[in-house]
Amino acid sequence: MKSLILQCILIIWLTAAHAQQKNDLVIGSVVDFHSQILNEQRKIWVHVPGSYGAGTRAKRKFPVVYLLDAEKNFTGVVGMIDLLSSMNGNNIFPEMIIVGIPNTDRIRDLTPTHVVDGLWIDSSMARRSGGGEVFLAFIEKELIPFIDSNYRTSPYRMLIGHSLGGLMVINAFVHHNTLFSSYVAIDPSMWWDKQRLLHETAQVLKTTSYKRKSLVLVMAHSQAPGMDTAMVQSDTTDGTLHPRGILELSRYIMDNGKNGLQAGFKYYDEESHGSVPLISTYDALHFIFNDYQLHMQDKYLNDSTFQLASFLKDHYEKISSEYDMTSEDGRALLPPEDLVNNLGFYALGKKQFHKAEDMFKLNVTNYPAGFAAYNYLGDLYSAKGEKAKAIVSYKKALSLKENAETKKKLEKLEGNQAHY
């Protein structure tokens, strides 16, 4: 399959006194290829994490988020996942490849069944409806193989959709339950086709195993102002058909605890149908990856005898297995470089020299091109009075990266050594 990689850019205009200067901020790539299944050209937006090609992580594989309605949701989801997976010291959930799927014919692609007429549907919508299964075939047989063959992907895949996109998430969850590992359905349009998919879901949940699968269902406040969920459930008018369908779906999902599904439901009383996607995606990711983040208890930090390096290794081996994130050569996910250095620096400040040395040496092994661990090892050996080791470590750090402060520390040690 031929593809033309184009730049996907955001244009930022910086206003000066007499002119404007254009700068391009690149957040991903646009892949343009022909779909034989859909018989049309499709554009796909792809974002890869900042560490995708960095140093010793070059062979690491990444989970993939498939995002419907990309033209509305791509930039927000990219920023959120990047921030909470790798920036400001965050490791709340894994760094992920994000594949945004913009629409060509939204009604055709995001409706699972064809309708002749119905509530909130005009003749044009009805005529074009019902291409959802073909659209999912495009994702399964063309898009996923393309992404897997061109990017370093792990087997862990997530599908996120809102409104009609949420309807398609539920359709994939019910009728294609091996295609994704986790599903996020945001205020889905369960009213479609006289709630046909809603009733199908009730039956499938009773007979299908969803072991190691996750589903988060989201509901916004789309009913009349002042109407709570209890009032919605007792109402029978068309105006509450949308929220009633979601509430009914939530009961089906949450009442089937024996099928192995990790399920979550959340109602956002302060959010409308249009405003709910970003905040609910944030919460859904926290729910799905609830055991990914390393929660550092005081006993790990203050007990000088606690084997922190082994604890870190075991934790990241566990989540590597759970989220299918081993590298191409079978190695487990490495503890993040910044996290390990920060733990080592904390232990150094507490004069837990053995634990600090374990941390810095762990990073030297995992990230041999990293400046910081060698620099901190120099600080450690200097604090212990082991000047020869400190000098070796500072020199190694400076061979990787020029740093004025490290150079001053080295020169001070070498000057002191010269007086002996």
User: Do residues 74 and 67 make contact, with C-beta atoms less than 8 angstroms apart?
Assistant: yes
Q: Is the predicted pLDDT of residue 149 greater than 90, yes or no?
A: yes
Q: Is residue 171 within 8 Å of 197, Cβ to Cβ?
A: yes
Query: Would you state the pLDDT for residue 54?
Result: 61
Report the pLDDT value the prediction gives residue 136, as an integer from 0 to 100: 98
Report how far residue 49's alpha carbon sits from residue 94's, in angstroms, rounded to the nearest whole number: 10
Kindly report the CATH number that applies to the domain delimited by 298-418.
Answer: 1.25.40.10
Other Cβ atoms closer than 10 A to 232: 22
User: Average of pLDDT values for 95-123?
Assistant: 92
Whether 9 shows a pLDDT value over 60: the answer reads: no
- Does 319 score more than 60 pLDDT? yes
Q: Answer yes or no: are the C-beta atoms of 328 and 320 closer than 8 Å.
A: no
For residues 89 and 405, which has the higher predicted lDDT (pLDDT)?
Answer: 405
Sorted by sequence, the CB contacts under 8 Å of residue 77 that are 6+ apart come out as 65, 67, 98, 100, 160, 278, 281
Average pLDDT, the chain: 87
Residue 138 structure tokens: 């495009």
Does residue 214 come out as left (phi exceeding 0), alpha (psi in the -120 to 50 range) or beta? beta
Domain limits, the chain: 4-288, 298-418
Percentage of the chain lying above the pLDDT 90 cut: 58
pLDDT exceeds 80 at position 417 = no
d(CA 355, CA 206): 50
Distance CA 161, CA 186 (A): 6
pLDDT tens digits for 175-195? 999 999 999 999 999 999 999
Pick the more confident residue, 134 or 2: 134
The mean per-residue pLDDT over the stretch 341-349 comes to 88
Q: Which of 139-143, 370-374, 412-416 has the largest mean confidence?
A: 139-143
Determine the pLDDT at residue 384: 92
- pLDDT at residue 17 greater than cutoff 50: no
Query: In 3D, which of 384, 383, 342, 382 has the Cα closest to residue 360?
Result: 342
Question: In this structure, which long-range contacts are made by residues 250-256, counting pairs with CB atoms below 8 Å and at least 24 apart in sequence?
Answer: 250/217, 250/219, 252/198, 252/201, 252/202, 252/205, 253/201, 253/205, 253/215, 253/217, 256/205, 256/206
Model pLDDT for residues 377-404, shown as the tens digit of each residue: 999 999 999 999 999 999 999 999 999 9
Model pLDDT, residue 2: 35
> Which overall architecture, per CATH, does domain 4-288 show?
3-Layer(aba) Sandwich (3.40)
State whether the Cα torsion 99-100-105-107 is positive or negative. Answer: positive
Instruction: Give the residue-averaged pLDDT of 349-373.
Output: 90
State pLDDT tens for residues 241-281: 999 999 999 999 988 767 889 999 999 999 999 999 999 99
33 pLDDT band, cuts 50/70/90, is: confident
SS3 378: helix
Mean pLDDT of 62-88: 93
